[in-house]
């Protein structure tokens, strides 16, 4: 019997091998053109992403983190402002808020979806609230209708952090075009991953789009004429060209992830493992397949011994991070988030997983739980 292939948390090399010729041709096309910054490849990719998400404008930038930053800059968010968001996500969401001098105001999460709980958001809104940043975590959509209703009542813009959720649906509509702006990361491990850092902001607002295009090139429309404060956050033409190739495969890859997730679900049936919940209002794209376990650390140790990779996203919530202590919320403030950080475990999830690997992963977890 042939030996099982090594298990990867994310197999970017295996994915590349299947589309190697197309990727290489795209890269060589850019290298031969001499146009490495902005240009046709970037503008075409911006248009293609906008079309895919059914929005009017796409503005490329250097990373998902920069997408968040420039979105808030476009709204004029700064010193003394407040931004409502979740404490259970990657650091970039809070980091960018605080770099601008604003304050993150956290709302605890829904225990099933791991996303910001809309029922708790109203209490977090004040006269200082200048934006709401819901995070579509793990590829699962936030319940957006209550957020949009509240945002409209208070005239507050919504910045969708969709860095983990490109292609996810909310009531039949792609995330990114539901709020005022949507922020995308093309980090290599994402469902649509570049060969380095890359990001984008999408919006239906033409005035915001124009402002964003200035911000990402030092605040200028015309070279050497700087109208507003900006940054250097351009999307490389090389990354855009290769992402254009990958975009054609995105829906196929999402289906492969969903198929792998359904197999995991079946294999865990009848066990004490809490499998990912897929909300009836959304279509999960499974950037991560995240389970909950009471004895998470014991299981994780066993997986390490079996050479099975895993992730803990995230082991420390943002309100308890030393760097962000200025946000001023002690342990115990967000009990659902604090419970999740002790129990979540993300399993290998990518387009190259096979059934044998998944059965081995699941059986190893079930064995570990008996110890």
CB 41 within 8 A of CB 35: yes
| Confidence at residue 257, expressed as pLDDT on a 0 to 100 scale | 98
DSSP classification of residue 223: T
DSSP classification of residue 236: B
Rounded to 10°, the helix 355-370/296-305 angle is 130
| Confidence at residue 327, expressed as pLDDT on a 0 to 100 scale | 67
CB 344 within 8 A of CB 312: yes
Say which CATH number the domain at 325 has: 3.90.1150.10
Residues 113 and 188 in one domain: yes
Please report where in the chains the tokens 């699962």 appear, as a residue: 140
Q: pLDDT tens across 325-356, in order?
A: 766 677 888 999 999 999 999 999 999 999 99
Please report where in the chains the tokens 């079996």 appear, as a residue: 306
Q: Which of 257, 156, 188 is nearest to 16 (CA)?
A: 188
| Confidence at residue 331, expressed as pLDDT on a 0 to 100 scale | 81
Residues 237 and 283 in one domain: no
Distance CA 342, CA 315 (A): 7
Rounded to 10°, the helix 64-74/206-215 angle is 120
pTM score of the predicted model: 0.96
Distance CA 175, CA 170 (A): 6
Report if residue 7 sits inside a domain: no
Looking at the DSSP assignment, which residues form a beta bridge with residue 345?
A: 291
Domain count, the chain: 2
- The three-state secondary structure class of 201 is strand
| Confidence at residue 371, expressed as pLDDT on a 0 to 100 scale | 77
Residues 223 and 257 in one domain: no
CB 47 within 8 A of CB 70: no
Rounded to 10°, the helix 64-74/92-99 angle is 40
Residues 238 and 103 in one domain: yes
Residues 100 and 243 in one domain: yes
Residues 202 and 67 in one domain: yes
Report if residue 173 sits inside a domain: yes
The burial of 271, by beta-carbon neighbours within 10 Å (0-12 exposed, 13-18 middle, 19 or more buried), is given as: middle
Strand-pair category, 282-283 with 129-133: unpaired
| Confidence at residue 364, expressed as pLDDT on a 0 to 100 scale | 97
Question: Which residue numbers in the chain have pLDDT < 50?
Answer: 1
| Confidence at residue 97, expressed as pLDDT on a 0 to 100 scale | 97
Residues 255 and 238 in one domain: no
Residues 234 and 267 in one domain: no
Residues 224 and 267 in one domain: no
> Helix/strand/coil (H, E, C) string of 147-185?
HHHHHHHHCCCEEEECCCCCCCEECCEECCCCCCEEEEE
- The three-state secondary structure class of 61 is strand
Say which CATH number the domain at 141 has: 3.40.640.10
Residues 130 and 169 in one domain: yes
Distance CA 334, CA 157 (A): 24
| Confidence at residue 3, expressed as pLDDT on a 0 to 100 scale | 77
Range of the domain at 280: 250-370
- The three-state secondary structure class of 274 is strand
Angle at 113 between CA 108 and CA 117, to 5 degrees: 30
């Amino acid at each position: 019997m042939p030996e099982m292939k090594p298990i990867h948390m994310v197999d970017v090399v295996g994915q590349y091998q299947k589309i190697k010729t197309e990727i290489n041709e795209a890269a060589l096309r850019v290298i031969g053109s001499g146009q490495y910054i902005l240009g046709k490849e970037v503008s075409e990719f911006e248009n293609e992403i906008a079309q895919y998400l059914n929005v009017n404008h796409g503005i490329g930038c250097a990373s998902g983190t920069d997408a968040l930053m420039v979105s808030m800059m476009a709204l004029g968010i700064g010193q003394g402002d407040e931004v409502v968001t979740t404490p259970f996500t990657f650091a970039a969401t809070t980091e960018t808020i605080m770099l601008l001098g604003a304050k993150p105001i956290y709302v605890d999460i829904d225990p099933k979806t791991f996303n910001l709980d809309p029922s708790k958001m109203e209490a977090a809104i004040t006269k200082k609230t200048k934006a709401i940043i819901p995070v579509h975590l793990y590829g699962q959509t936030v319940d957006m209708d209550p957020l949009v209703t509240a945002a409209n009542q208070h005239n507050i813009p919504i910045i969708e952090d969709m860095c983990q959720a490109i292609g996810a649906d909310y009531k039949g509509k792609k995330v990114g075009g539901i709020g005022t702006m949507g922020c995308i990361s093309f980090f290599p491990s994402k469902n649509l991953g570049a060969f380095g850092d890359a990001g984008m902001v999408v919006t239906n607002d033409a005035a915001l789009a124009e402002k964003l295009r200035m911000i990402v090139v030092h605040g200028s429309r015309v070279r050497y004429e700087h109208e507003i404060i900006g940054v250097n956050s351009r999307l490389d033409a090389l990354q855009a060209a290769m992402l254009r190739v990958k975009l054609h495969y995105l829906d196929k890859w999402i289906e492969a992830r969903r198929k792998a997730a359904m197999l995991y679900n079946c294999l865990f049936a009848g066990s004490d493992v809490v499998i990912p919940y897929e909300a009836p209002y959304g279509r999960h794209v499974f950037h991560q397949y995240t389970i909950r376990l009471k004895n998470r650390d014991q299981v994780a140790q066993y997986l390490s011994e079996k050479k099975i990779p895993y992730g803990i996203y995230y082991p420390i919530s943002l309100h308890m991070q030393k760097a962000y202590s200025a946000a001023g919320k002690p342990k115990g403030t967000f009990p659902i988030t604090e419970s999740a950080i002790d129990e979540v475990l993300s399993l290998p999830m990518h387009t190259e997983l096979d059934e044998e690997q998944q059965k081995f992963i699941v059986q190893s977890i079930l064995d570990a739980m008996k110890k």
